[in-house]
């Protein structure tokens, strides 16, 4: 039986979320691996857009930052950040956006701003970057985050990027164009937003994982879809690409 790390199955599962020809707003880390894995396998026509302005990027090396020079060389277009946010994102052209964060709550709200109070934080995190507007405008978003109850509280300390229900209002109430976080890819299984309420529910487990292990990593009484799916493990080709081509130094796959 093939063995794989949590990072490897997360990147593989995230890659499967991307359809060929889709336009995706890429983040650094696992989302970048997922997008490039998808491009190398089932989605050769995926259009990678980075907030630094690279459109149709074909990075030859693993980008360490979202503004890596390898994102530009050989890309289709480089535009200013005003164009990225206005002509591309606010214009509705982004089909999929990847998001992550220190905290993800029951409604898919994400906190990347502070742990504790804003005025005197216990931990000051980097802040929004482009995440708030990606969460609002991308036609759908996919969250990638490892389970533990502190990372998945009932309610985040600060809503940086809105999910399905923020401070009592729904996305529709608040006039948000995108559908919000449709899936959360964790290291043990997949949560999906309930189509009615927007609450995150457990819908699929990774091979060998019990539902209780996922519940133990979530800080609210996690509901479970009646028929739980079983996620296919990464195949040999995906593992080869991740290990030998996309992240040979294991910058993002470790652990």
Partner 1 sequence: MDSKVVSMSDAVARYVHDGDTVVIEGFTHLICFAAGHEIIRQGRRNLTLCRLTPDLIYDQMIGAGCARKLVFSWAGNPGAGSLHAFRRAVEGKGDPIEIEEYSHFGMVARFCAGSAKLPFWPMRDYAGTDIPAVNPQIRTVTCPYTGEQLATVPALNPDVTIVHAQRSDSNGNAQIWVMLSVQKEAAFASRHVIVVVEELVDESVIRADPNRTLIPGMIVDAVVVEPWGAHPSYAQGFYDRDNDFYVAWESISRDPAKLRGYLDEFVCGVADRQSYLAKQPGLMERLGADERVCAGVNYGY
| Residue ranges that bind partner 1, judged by CB under 8 A | 28-29, 51-54, 64-69, 72-73, 78-82, 85-86, 89-90, 109, 113, 118, 120-133, 135-137, 158-162, 166-167, 169, 171, 174-177, 251
What's the closest the beta carbon of residue 140 comes to partner 1, in angstroms? 16
Within its chain, how far is the Cα of 226 from the centroid? 25
Whether the CA torsion 186, 162, 92, 85 is positive or negative: it is: negative
Shorter beta-carbon distance to partner 1: residue 32 or 203: 32
Shorter beta-carbon distance to partner 1: residue 47 or 132: 132
Q: What are 13's two structure tokens?
A: 């599962």
What's the closest the beta carbon of residue 255 comes to partner 1, in angstroms? 15
Answer yes or no: are the C-beta atoms of 99 and 110 closer than 8 Å: yes
What's the closest the beta carbon of residue 63 comes to partner 1, in angstroms? 8
Choose among 51, 50, 21, 52: nearest CA to 38: 21
Burial of 172 per CB tally in 10 Å (0-12, 13-18, 19+): exposed
What's the closest the beta carbon of residue 118 comes to partner 1, in angstroms? 5
Using the structure block, give the residue that is written with the tokens 């991307």. 18
Shorter beta-carbon distance to partner 1: residue 2 or 120: 120
Active site residue 51: yes
Shorter beta-carbon distance to partner 1: residue 5 or 170: 170
Residue from 8, 51, 95, 199 carrying the catalytic annotation: 51
What's the closest the beta carbon of residue 210 comes to partner 1, in angstroms? 34
Shorter beta-carbon distance to partner 1: residue 70 or 228: 70
Calpha distance 181→200 (Å, rounded): 9
Just list the catalytic residues: 51
């Amino acid at each position: 039986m093939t063995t794989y790390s949590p990072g490897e199955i997360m990147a593989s599962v995230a890659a499967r979320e991307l359809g060929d020809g889709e336009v995706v707003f890429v983040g650094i880390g696992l989302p970048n691996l997922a997008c490039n894995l998808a491009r190398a396998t089932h989605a050769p026509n995926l259009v990678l857009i980075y907030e630094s302005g690279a459109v149709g990027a074909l990075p030859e090396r693993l980008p360490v930052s979202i503004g890596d020079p390898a994102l530009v060389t050989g890309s289709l277009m480089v535009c200013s950040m005003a164009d990225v946010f206005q002509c591309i994102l606010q214009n509705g052209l982004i089909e999929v956006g990847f998001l992550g964060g220190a905290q993800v709550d029951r409604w898919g709200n994400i906190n990347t701003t502070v742990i504790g109070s804003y005025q005197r934080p216990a931990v000051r995190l980097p802040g929004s970057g482009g995440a708030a507007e990606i969460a609002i405008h991308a036609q759908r978003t996919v969250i990638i985050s490892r389970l533990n109850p502190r990372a998945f509280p009932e309610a985040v300390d600060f809503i940086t990027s809105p999910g399905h229900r923020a401070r009592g209002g729904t996305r529709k109430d608040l006039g948000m164009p995108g559908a919000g976080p449709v899936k959360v890819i964790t290291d043990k299984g997949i949560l999906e937003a309930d189509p009615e309420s927007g609450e995150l529910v457990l819908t699929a487990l990774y091979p060998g994982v019990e539902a209780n292990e996922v519940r133990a990593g979530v800080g609210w009484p996690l509901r479970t879809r009646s028929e739980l799916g079983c996620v296919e493990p990464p195949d040999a080709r995906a593992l080869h690409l991740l290990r030998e081509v996309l992240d040979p130094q294991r910058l993002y796959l470790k652990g």
